[in-house]
Structure 1
Amino acid sequence: MINNKNILAIIPARGGSKGVPRKNIREIAGKPLIAWTIEVAKKSKYIDRVVLSSEDSEIIEIASAYGCDVPFVRPSHLAQDDTSSMDMVFHALNELPDYDYVILLQPTSPLRNVEDIDGCIDAMLALDAPSCVSVTEPEKSPYWMYSLQGNCRMKPLIPQESTASRRQDLKKVYALNGAIYVAKVDWLVNTKTFLNDETTAFIMPKSRSYDIDTEEDFLLCDLLMHKMGRK
C-alpha cells in the first residue's frame, strides 16, 4: 500500500508457450522461471497482493508452492495465442475489484529486482502520472534501421537530414523491456492500455532487462543468473 492506496500485482502465465514450451515452469538458475517473479514481487514494500493468472493446473500448483495467491483459474478462452494481455488484466480486475493500482509482472523477466518494481511505482507517483512502464536503451538504434523497398533498396526507418556515423551522436531512444507495467485501475479501465501520452517511463539497465522469448534467451539468462550468483 502507498498513500492509502492498495496495489494488486498480476503475474500472467499460460501453459501454451510456443517459442519455449512450458517456459514459465522450466528451471532456470535452480528454480522454475515463474518463481523468480513471485519472490521478487513478494519483497515489494508497496504491493499488497500478488496473484497468478493461469489456466494451467501445473503452473498453478508450482506458483502456489512459491507463495503466490491463486484466487481464480483463468478461462481457457483467455489463454490462447491471440489473447491480449489487456483481456487477461481486465479479467483479473473483474475477479478482484477494489484495488487502486495494478502492476503487471511477466515471469519472462527474471532479472528484474525489487528495487526496479518499487522504483517504477515511485517514479509514477513522483510525477503524479496515471501509468509507468519499464524501458531500456535498445542494443540497436532505430536511427540505424532501414526498411527494404523494391529491388532491396534501403529506406531509413526514421527520416534524417544526415546519418550519424557514431552511436554517441544518435538521439537517445528507449524500448519497452516487458518487465513492469503499473497504472491506476480507474485510468486503465478508461484507456484500455498501459501506454498513451500520459504514460511515464522507468529506465532499467540492459543487464536486468532481458525478456525470455526464445531458447537462446533462456540459455543466456540462465548463464547470467548463475554467473551473478542469484539465489
Structure 2
Amino acid sequence: MSYKIGLKLWSLNENYIAPAKELYECGKYDYIELYTVPNSLQMLPLWKNLAKDCGVKFAIHAPHFSSGLDFSNPNKQRYNLELCEQVKRYSGELEAVYTVFHPGIGGSINESVRQMKMVKNLKFAIENKPYIVPMDNGTAFCVGADFLSIKRILDEVGCEFCLDAGHALCSANYQGLNPYEYIAKLNELNPRIYHLSDNDENAKLDAHMHFGDGSIDLARVLKLLCGGEFLAIETIKDSKDNLDDFAKDCSILKLLIKNTK
C-alpha cells in the first residue's frame, strides 16, 4: 500500500503558501490538490511560482455546487462551461496530475452526464457524493451518491474515479448499507484518487474532522482503499496562519498506512 499524499488548499489561500512550501520541503506530503474558486485566475501565478520554487506537483478540484458549478442543472449549462474553462487554465498551467469534478446536486443524472460530455480537452475524474447535503431550506439529494450512478457516469462519460471514503460512509448510512462494505464495493470501480477525512461512523451528513476526532475505523478503511495512486487529506484547517493541524493529520495517516501493510 503506497500513496502520494495530498494537501487540500483553495486557490485563494495565499496565506498557506509559505507553510505549504516548508512542509513540502520537509517531505511531509507529495502534492497539493487545489480547489479552484470561481474567478480566481489572478491567483494562478502565485501557485505557478510555488511549483517553480520547490517542485511541488498540483492536482485540481473544480468548483462544486456551493461555488455555483452544478452539472445537474440545465439552467446553469453556460455558467458551468465557463467555470470549466477556468478549471482548464489551472489544470493546464499547473500541469495537474488529475482534475476532479462533482456530478451535481438536486438535478438529474441524465443532465449531469449530458453536460459532463460537453467538457472537452480535459481529462478528469468524477467524485462520489453523500446521499444528502444540508441546504438553507433543508436537504438536497446528490447526483452520484450510489454505486450504480457512479458506474453509469464512468461508463458513459469515460472519466476516471475519485473515491471519497467520507462521502461513501455517509451515503451508505443513508441507504441503510454497511459503510465499510459499500466503500469496498466502490473500490471495485478502480479509483485512481482517494479522499479521506474522519467523521461519526453513523453520520449521514459529510464532515471533515481531523483523524482521530471521529469514530471511523480508518485502519479498516485504508485496507479497503487499494489500487489507487493518490490520497488527498480533506480535514479542516484550524488556523489561517499555519498548517500544523494538517501536519499532525499527515503523521497519523502515514502511521496508519504503515501499520496496515
Question: Which one has the largest radius of gyration?
Answer: 1
TM-score category by the smaller chain?
0.3 to 0.5
TM-score, length-normalised on structure 1?
0.33
TM-score, length-normalised on structure 2?
0.30
Q: Which has the higher helix share?
A: 2
